Structure 1
């Protein structure tokens, strides 16, 4: 029964463009499903913060505004579901959303919010997943619809379920990933107390200069990390998971093996924390790199040529994912493309985009768990 419902939901989400037009009830059904899932996950994070909440976000759970937000989301989901039921012949999205709304109401009635939150550094971040998905989705989905390069690429394109699952895993495991990523930097900080004077000088620099320095340092570290993950066969097997995506959009960048995520963040964080940049500069950089990582993978026709030498653009990074032979082992930079020019790995044919994406022969299997195990199996390097 559950599998039939899941397939029915999937089929309606992936329905043809002709049956998804405005007035068909598809948009209201899709939004109702998203809102009902968001409301349920936020409610679970409020009722069980020790299991399902990021500790920084759990601090606001007992505030009236948080409960109001949850209630508003559920009301909106219910109203949108009713519109879907009225307009659409296939009513699975509306019925599913209403079921989740009533499940949320039942949980809300049976379980009271905890008066005192006990921090759990290993809790799943349901609330962070919802916030993360809504922020990036609400920003980049309209941008791709308005300024998309491949205008016929649907929102629910092939492989969307895999990439969404990667997004889910990296979001709900945010506290565990952060702990593992920060551990090397914390160890270095504890053993380099004599650097306090230097760190104070770094933290007193103008804010803009600090952010620029962080971008330069992290890009240099990430360039070589990225390059090694292409050129060393064992490491490539982890990075091949990221390159297995055959469609590029705002969600595609989420497809990364968790070992690579921890390694990349762990090394990148070291210069940021150890050198003493102040918290405001770190926060600005984290926001910038968060948006940039989504931006460069997005399906956007960003063709501002005069910016091409100075910052990484979607076209630059899309060539890094290109399936053409010329696109193998090029364009490693995250922020500044001149690093690739400096080290001989720059490739940017004028006014051209890749004809396709992925790895020649497509050796990486489909499915999250098969891809998780893929690096540990003996495979030939194919790119």
Structure 2
């Protein structure tokens, strides 16, 4: 099937030798894909990074802030939105690799007030894969404090047995990240900035942007208003990471080949790429969502659709394993003023990062990335 897909792509794109990806040809494809999207959705700035056989390329467009006209570069900080969930998942996998927690544990082991509650029937894996109990997408508006949040969890009424349905949820992954931080001896943000980002070699990735990096922090745009993410309950765990295209493409390269990482972090990466539940066209991992590769554009659009984000979906438990066949991994993310998308195919050694300072529609991100992904796949096909 992969050979048939490559042959079909060859009709659209000339093949380029594996050893020398044609940067000019890739730029032409990226330029052609990015320009119309930025124009249609009034995106002020976008940073695009691609990797082909370990070689990173950067393509930067527009401005990080409209008032200053500061240009976007691969060092511009963008809010990742829900792509942050992949970092939360990695930290959880790392804590398990160190023996600090098990994905089979239940929340009440770490939060005593939840012991015996409906939520305590779920495991940490259920929390991390949104299959725990039918949590809503967001924490309810009337929950303002951490005490109120845990009271909400304590009295939450589950809509069925864990593992039956996937309800994409910030409270679910948020509680998973909160417990991970506890297991590692502090807050989630402390553990991420102390243990996770440095071990991944991410020198410009933050939850709490330091003053020294504020000049690189883009402004997001909601309509014409310049905005940044607001502090909130479980913001760090669910959507709070800020990063650059340079760091994010390194992150993708480590997802493709984690062999340079220390053993516990290697195991963490493999944990996040394990398929746990089949949900419609995609397999839900811990953070990442995956598809057999090659995958059609239609399947990717369905897997990243509004229905998948806003409506409960039937889930079928899989035998947990890292897929042996070629697999595409992806994750979208948004905050009020930013939109991101990350996609990679380890078997092809290709990946793409899209970072923008407007939350433009997921469909547009998927279509943009898919058109570039086809070119990257051909860029490493033998002549």
TM-score (norm 1): 0.25
More strand by share: 2
Question: With structure 2 as the length reference, what TM-score do the two structures score?
Answer: 0.25
Larger Rg: 1
